[in-house]
Structure 1
Amino acid sequence: MFNRFYPDEDVASAYDIPYDALYKKGIRGVIFDVDNTLVPHDAPADERAKNLFSHLRALGMDTCLLSNNKEPRVAAFAEAVGGSNYIYKGGKPGVKNYKKAMELMGTSLNSTIFVGDQLFTDVYGAKRTGIRSFLVKPINPKEEIQIVLKRYPEALILFFYRRDKKRRQYDKRKK
């Protein structure tokens, strides 16, 4: 029932994802949410974010920021990390701008991943589009009220996701 909201992977941070290994497996584009995925809400790009984007470019990966935020916020962040593609007022979880992000990067469903911190916008939109999704823990617990309210049902879904994940791992070990 909740499977449509389950991420393909869950990791502590966008900075913990094994991008080098993903590149070797054919990933050529990364779509990122910005706020609470890469930096705290409304924070400027920090050195860690700049270094990540520099590393991804050095690997040969392209990036696109996909945010429901307004253009001044997203454009400034994109410029600060070295000129990433970006889409503002992205309409997540709609699929239109996930597809547009892939067009901007010249990637396909199989060569793109999405990284975000919210199930109902980020992960659900990526799943609807057919992109592999990585859920990261929010960087800062201080969030806007509409996001705080979504975190309660997210917690319930994550409970079932982690339970199902443990069962699958157990079943694999049994075989």
Structure 2
Amino acid sequence: MLKSFKPTWMVESIYQISPEQLRQENIKAVLTDLDNTLIAWNNPQATEETIEWIELMKENNIKVIILSNNTRKRVGKVASILELEFVPNAVKPFQRGFNKALDEFGLKKDEVLMVGDQIITDIKGANHAGIASVLVKPILDSDAWNTRLNRFVELKIMNYLIKKNPDMKWRGSLHDRETT
């Protein structure tokens, strides 16, 4: 039952995912959560690291699309700054936002990767949609009020999954061995 929350990979940060790793997996597009995955939840400004990572993806013809449960206004503001396509109000973990992204951008499930910091929304949604997923550590230790309950539940689920799947370890890239 809880295996629907298990990510394909666990990587410490989205910035550790390289075009080479994505090509090895035949990934042509990255769906990324916004808050605490791509940028801090409480700051609409992207870091230099974020901008460099996005530029690297663009240079390598890997499409980056923000898939967020947040509003069009919030996501659109950041997407405009970063010059990215986006799907707001995605209602993750339901398939609606995932399907909209696939349809709107002409993507195939096996060529897409979802990256997010929450197993309840991002990972479960990707698994339900049949898309590979990467769980990343949140950029900040703090969360918006509406995410705090999810974090409490996620901790219980993660403890269970790690106990049942000793291979679930944080890594420095998609193909690295575990990190400390």
Q: Please indicate, yes or no, whether the TM-score normalized by the shorter chain is above 0.5.
A: yes
Q: Which amino acid aligns with 1:88?
A: P
Q: Which amino acid aligns with 1:150?
A: N
- What TM-score comes out, normalization by structure 2 length? 0.86
Q: Which residue does the alignment assign to 1:130?
A: 130
Number of aligned positions between the proteins = 168
Q: Which residue does the alignment assign to 2:172?
A: none
Gaps of 5+ in 2: 170-180
Distance 2:69 2:97 in 1: 10
Q: Which residue does the alignment assign to 2:67?
A: 66
Distance 2:71 2:153 in 1: 26
Gaps of 5+ in 1: 170-175
Distance 2:149 2:3 in 1: 21
Distance 2:113 2:25 in 1: 12
Query: 1:56-135 residue pairs with structure 2 within 5 A?
Result: 56-81=57-82, 83-135=83-135
Q: Which amino acid aligns with 1:36?
A: N
Q: Which residue does the alignment assign to 1:26?
A: 26
Change over 3 Å in CA distance of 1:55–1:105 after alignment to 2? farther
CA contact (8 A) 1:50 1:80 kept: no
Distance 2:62 2:24 in 1: 11
Change over 3 Å in CA distance of 1:31–1:141 after alignment to 2? same
Distance 2:142 2:168 in 1: 33
CA contact (8 A) 1:63 1:105 kept: no
Distance 2:24 2:128 in 1: 25
Q: Which residue does the alignment assign to 1:173?
A: none
Change over 3 Å in CA distance of 1:167–1:144 after alignment to 2? closer
- Regions of 4+ moved over 3 Å: none
Q: Deviations over 1:129-168 (max 9, x none)?
A: 0000101111112212221111112111111222233269
Q: Which residue does the alignment assign to 1:52?
A: 53
Distance 1:54 1:31 in 2: 15
Distance 2:24 2:84 in 1: 21
Distance 1:114 1:168 in 2: 17
Query: What SS does the aligned partner of 2:38 have?
Result: coil
Change over 3 Å in CA distance of 1:20–1:127 after alignment to 2? same
RMSD in angstroms over aligned alpha carbons?
A: 1.7
Distance 1:130 1:51 in 2: 29
CA contact (8 A) 2:93 2:125 kept: yes
- What TM-score comes out, normalization by structure 1 length? 0.89
Compute the displacement of 1:20 (Å).
Answer: 1.7
Q: Which residue does the alignment assign to 2:152?
A: 152
Query: What SS does the aligned partner of 2:165 have?
Result: helix
